[in-house]
């Protein structure tokens, strides 16, 4: 039987409405959540992510402080807007768009962000808190995956979850969230990567399979258990002369074949993607509420 499609756009829209209502409530107390965004250089993908983030802020009433810096910005010059926004009460979240140019040390930059404003959840202190199961900002993409599962009625507790990919922004944090003793966790998690000996052996055991490898359509139907929930985080450009742009976007999952075997599946685009920005808005709202003593 063909899988039910998890409509990430719809879930994201519902969550953004919820966030907007909370932002409006705060505004009655003269509190306007603010997000500071820093973009170094002119990478087209980064520019388009930053534009999307700022547009999303505007739509739900979050103030955004936009900082565009040239590609040859020196590390200490990049620290200046971070320091300014660390101390600016109008700013509740600071986001430095990654990747940064090679001459800038990413770890030093992430360490410079005030952990209370680290709405991407990449500051080592917040990563430590997440691993220890303390309340903190959760990184947006893996948090978006958990929201999609929960809001689609998927039981995480006790599930065998297999994650393909161990990056610091998706695989590792997601695995940590899912093993926490919490309603959003209590899963049994396996994390696979390029050194995994028999990938299909693991993926075929998964009740919930998360693909976050960045390899177009690498998860084929024979790698998936009948009735599994399949979450595709991957976003890959593949050449397609029939498209005006000459390419199309595809996930890490062979969607057409896998949807015949899965019980629930996310499409690409329109699955996890819209959730990532939504969780950034969520973290910024939570930060504003905390700063105002409302949580």
* Rounded alpha-carbon distances, angstroms, from residue 108 to 89, 124, 149, 184, 278: 23, 10, 34, 31, 26
Instruction: State the nearest-atom distance from the C-beta of 19 to ligand NDP, in Å.
Output: 17
224 binding ligand NDP? (CB under 6 A): no
The stretch near ligand NDP (CB under 6 A) out of 29-37, 120-128, 206-214, 238-246 is 206-214
Q: How far apart are CA 118 and CA 125, in angstroms?
A: 10
Return the percent helix, strand and coil in the chain, to nearest 5: 40, 15, 40
Choosing from 65, 118, 120, 232, which is the catalytic residue? 120
Instruction: State the nearest-atom distance from the C-beta of 167 to ligand NDP, in Å.
Output: 3
Task: Judge if the upstream peptide bond of residue 99 is cis by omega within 30 degrees of 0.
Answer: yes
Could you tell me the two tokens for 70? 């040239």
202 binding ligand NDP? (CB under 6 A): no
Choosing from 65, 97, 118, 172, which is the catalytic residue? 97
Of residues 136 through 175, those in contact with ligand NDP by CB under 6 A are 141, 164-167, 169-171
**Which of these, 206, 197, 204, lies nearest to 229 by C-alpha position?**
206
Could you tell me the two tokens for 40? 């170094």
The stretch near ligand NDP (CB under 6 A) out of 33-41, 106-114, 211-219, 278-286 is 211-219
215 binding ligand NDP? (CB under 6 A): yes
CB 286 within 8 A of CB 25: no
Binds ligand NDP (CB under 6 A): choice among 193, 237, 243, 294: 193
3-state DSSP of 62-108 = CEEEEEEECCCCCHHHHHHHHHHHHCCCCCCEEEECCCCCCCCCHHH
The stretch near ligand NDP (CB under 6 A) out of 104-112, 174-182, 188-196, 221-229 is 188-196
Q: Is 97 a catalytic residue?
A: yes
Residue nearest to ligand NDP (CB): 167
Instruction: State the nearest-atom distance from the C-beta of 219 to ligand NDP, in Å.
Output: 9
CB 212 within 8 A of CB 164: yes
Q: Is 120 a catalytic residue?
A: yes
Residue numbers annotated as active site:
53, 97, 120
Question: Applying CB under 6 A, which residues contact ligand NDP?
Answer: 141, 164-167, 169-171, 192-196, 199, 212-215, 218, 233-236, 272-273, 276
């Amino acid at each position: 039987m063909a899988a039910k499609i998890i409509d990430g756009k719809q879930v994201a829209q519902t969550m953004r409405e919820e966030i907007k209502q909370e932002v409006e409530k705060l505004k009655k107390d003269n509190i306007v959540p603010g997000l500071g965004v820093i973009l170094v250089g002119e990478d087209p993908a980064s520019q388009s992510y930053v534009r999307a983030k700022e547009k999303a802020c505007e739509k739900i009433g979050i103030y955004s402080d936009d900082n565009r810096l040239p590609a040859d910005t020196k590390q200490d010059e990049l620290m200046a807007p971070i320091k300014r926004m660390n101390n600016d009460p109008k700013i509740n979240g600071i986001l430095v768009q990654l990747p940064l140019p090679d001459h800038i040390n990413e770890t030093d930059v992430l360490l410079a962000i005030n952990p209370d404003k680290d709405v991407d959840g990449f500051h080592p202190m917040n990563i430590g808190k997440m691993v220890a199961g303390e309340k903190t900002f959760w990184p947006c993409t893996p948090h978006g995956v958990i929201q999609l599962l929960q809001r689609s009625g998927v039981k995480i507790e006790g599930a065998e979850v297999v994650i393909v990919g161990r990056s610091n922004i998706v695989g590792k944090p997601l695995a940590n969230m899912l093993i926490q003793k919490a309603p959003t966790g209590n899963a049994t998690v396996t994390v696979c990567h390029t050194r995994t000996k028999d990938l299909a052996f693991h993926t075929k055991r998964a009740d919930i399979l998360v693909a976050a490898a960045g390899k177009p359509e690498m998860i084929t139907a024979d790698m998936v258990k009948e009735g599994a929930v399949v979450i595709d985080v991957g976003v890959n450009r593949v050449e397609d002369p029939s498209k005006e742009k000459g390419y199309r976007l595809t996930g890490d999952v062979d969607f057409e074949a896998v949807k015949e075997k899965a019980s629930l599946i996310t499409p690409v685009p329109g699955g996890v993607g819209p959730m990532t920005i939504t969780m950034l808005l969520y973290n910024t709202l939570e930060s504003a509420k905390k700063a105002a003593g409302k949580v």
